[in-house]
Amino acid sequence: MGKVVFSLLLALPLVTLGASADKKCVLSGSWRNELGSNMTISAVNAEGGFTGSYFTAVTATNKRILVSPLKGSQNSKSQRKQPTFGFTVSWTFSNSVTVFVGQCFMDDNGEESLKTMWLLRQEVGSPFADWKATRVGTNVFSRIKGQNVDESLRGDGAR
Ligand code: BTN
């Protein structure tokens, strides 16, 4: 009996490892980045399309931050374990737009993360100001667990 239990205990990490090796990174759900911004992504449709909401923790403006809609697409070969994607956030409280591109990664512990790069385009008054209109950066998002969509969009002020 002792031997059986011992063998089972030895086999357990292998089974767990095997299970996370099969798991796919899924975009749908609630995510938070290192700035404290929160977003939720809907189910990804058959063509790879998705929608969602973004609550940024920071702004380049002096406006009050509001939840903004996002729209994007995942590479349509949805069988991929670590799919690439892109989405656009059209900010409701400013005249700017941000486009994100990235990849959904699954680590050995079954934890997902979204590694992204973004361009934030601000509206400027004339082509002479074009040189200063675009910011660039990176964000890494981690999945928010055990929360519903509304809670994840409340932002830091409500926590
Ligand atoms: C604006 O300031 O006009 C709109 C908000 C921009 C927020 C940017 S988008 C890239 C970066 N990642 C975030 O989560 N927030 C900032």
- Residue 58 Cα to ligand 1 midpoint, Å, equals 6
Query: Which residues have C-beta atoms less than 6 Å from ligand 1?
Result: 33, 35, 37, 56, 58-61, 91, 94, 96, 98, 118, 120, 137, 139
pLDDT band at 14; cut points 50, 70, 90: very low
**Ligand 1 atom closest to Cα of residue 122:** 3
pLDDT top residue among 23 and 2: 23
pLDDT tens profile 18-49: 456 789 999 999 999 999 999 999 999 999 99
pLDDT higher than 90, residue 8: no
Burial annotation 133-153 (CB, 10 A radius, 16+ → b, else e): eeeeeebebebbeebeeeebb
Q: Model pTM?
A: 0.84
pLDDT per residue as tens digits for the range 90-148: 999 999 999 999 999 999 999 999 999 999 999 999 999 999 999 999 999 999 998 65
- Going by pLDDT thresholds of 50, 70 and 90, the confidence category of residue 151 is low
| In the predicted structure, residue 55 carries a pLDDT above the cut 90 | yes
Report the atom number in ligand 1 closest to the C-alpha of 118: 10
Pocket probe mutation, ligand 1, options 32, 40, 59, max atoms within 8 Å of Cβ: 59
**pLDDT at position 17 over 70:** no
Residue 148, pLDDT score? 56
Q: Who has greater pLDDT, 77 or 44? A: 44
